[in-house]
């Protein structure tokens, strides 16, 4: 029987880089949340294969795709169909969220979740959870947090690919302070206030590589976002809004720049179908 799992967009609402290990991996401290939009993975019993469809399907059918690597990690055979709704390599989880969805789906088909999911990528453990969390270490330390309010938001990507290694290489400082204590958030006002005390330590480096990210942030603020920031290593940015109508209008305005923009909300992923 087919199994369907969503792969929601992952947002680094705050991302502090707190150090660097001897092996070169960076130490992170991040408040991670997930959006109400994402890719979709459908699994059926059968020989291992991958079919990719959707608006961002181009170039994602290779044998090294993370979906296939996830299945191989647990020794599973399945026909995988990935509907790619999110931009590729854009700082919102992407392949890691897809791999995590494959692992969750395979678990429902009888293949236990692996203890070493981080082998697939630093974001895979938190994407397996797909609920608000504090992510630390190199991504392997994931602490679940209470649900966040369903705050309206807009995701915007200007269509510029930004290399994560290039962003890390361009950083000036790698030993920044960790996040402040994370409280419970009742709504937009206190979340935006707390985020104002935090940073995305990758944002300045990404801006130096792709200045259009600054235009995206300006656009979000100009359309009424109470808070705007880049997610991950970019180039996708998010804006938090005080109403769904304002978010929807903002997304339509920002699309006029030729950017990918979608109105959604901070929310848990939809239930599996």
pTM, entire model: 0.94
Residue where a domain stops, chosen among 144, 175, 202: 144
Q: Which of 126, 144, 162 is the last residue of a domain?
A: 144
Q: Are residues 131 and 159 in the same domain?
A: no
pLDDT digit string, tens, across residues 142-196: 999 999 999 999 999 999 989 999 999 999 999 999 999 999 999 999 999 999 9
Do 55 and 127 have their domain in common?
Answer: yes
Residue 223 is assigned to a structural domain of this protein: yes
Question: Tell me, what's the pLDDT at 180?
Answer: 98
CATH number for the domain spanning 45: value is 3.30.230.10
- pLDDT confidence of residue 89: 83
Quick: pLDDT tens for 202-252. 999 999 999 999 999 999 999 999 999 999 999 999 999 999 999 999 999
Q: Are 94 and 177 in the same domain?
A: no
Q: Using alpha carbons, select from 89, 71, 87, 90 the residue that is nearest to residue 79.
A: 71
270 belongs to a structural domain: no
**Would you name the residues annotated as active-site residues?**
10, 123
Indicate if the pLDDT at residue 51 is higher than 50: yes
Share of the chain above pLDDT 70, in %: 96
Q: Is residue 41 part of a domain?
A: yes
């Amino acid at each position: 029987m087919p199994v369907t799992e969503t792969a929601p967009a992952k947002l680094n609402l705050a991302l502090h880089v707190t150090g660097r290990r001897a092996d070169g991996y960076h130490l992170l401290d991040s408040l991670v949340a997930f959006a109400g939009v994402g890719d979709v993975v459908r699994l059926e019993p059968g020989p291992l294969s991958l079919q990719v469809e959707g608006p961002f399907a181009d170039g994602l059918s290779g044998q090294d795709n993370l979906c296939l690597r996830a299945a191989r990690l647990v020794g599973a055979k399945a026909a995988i169909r990935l509907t790619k709704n999110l931009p590729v390599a854009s700082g919102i989880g992407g392949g890691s969220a897809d791999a995590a969805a494959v692992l969750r789906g395979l678990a429902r088909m009888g293949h236990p979740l692996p203890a070493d999911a981080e082998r697939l990528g630093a974001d895979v453990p938190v994407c397996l959870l797909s609920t608000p969390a504090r992510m630390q270490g190199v991504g392997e330390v994931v602490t679940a947090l209470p649900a966040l309010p369903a705050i309206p938001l807009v995701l915007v990507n200007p269509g510029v690919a930004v290399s994560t290694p290039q962003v890390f290489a361009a950083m000036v400082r790698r030993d920044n302070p960790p996040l402040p204590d994370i409280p419970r958030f009742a709504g937009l006002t206190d979340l935006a206030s707390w985020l104002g005390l935090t940073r995305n330590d990758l944002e300045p480096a990404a801006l130096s590589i792709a200045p259009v990210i600054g235009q995206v942030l300006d656009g979000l603020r100009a359309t009424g976002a109470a808070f705007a920031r880049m997610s991950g290593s970019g180039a996708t940015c998010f804006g938090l809004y005080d109403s769904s109508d304002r978010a929807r209008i903002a997304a339509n305005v920002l699309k006029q720049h030729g950017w990918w923009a979608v109105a959604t909300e901070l929310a848990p992923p939809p239930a599996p179908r």
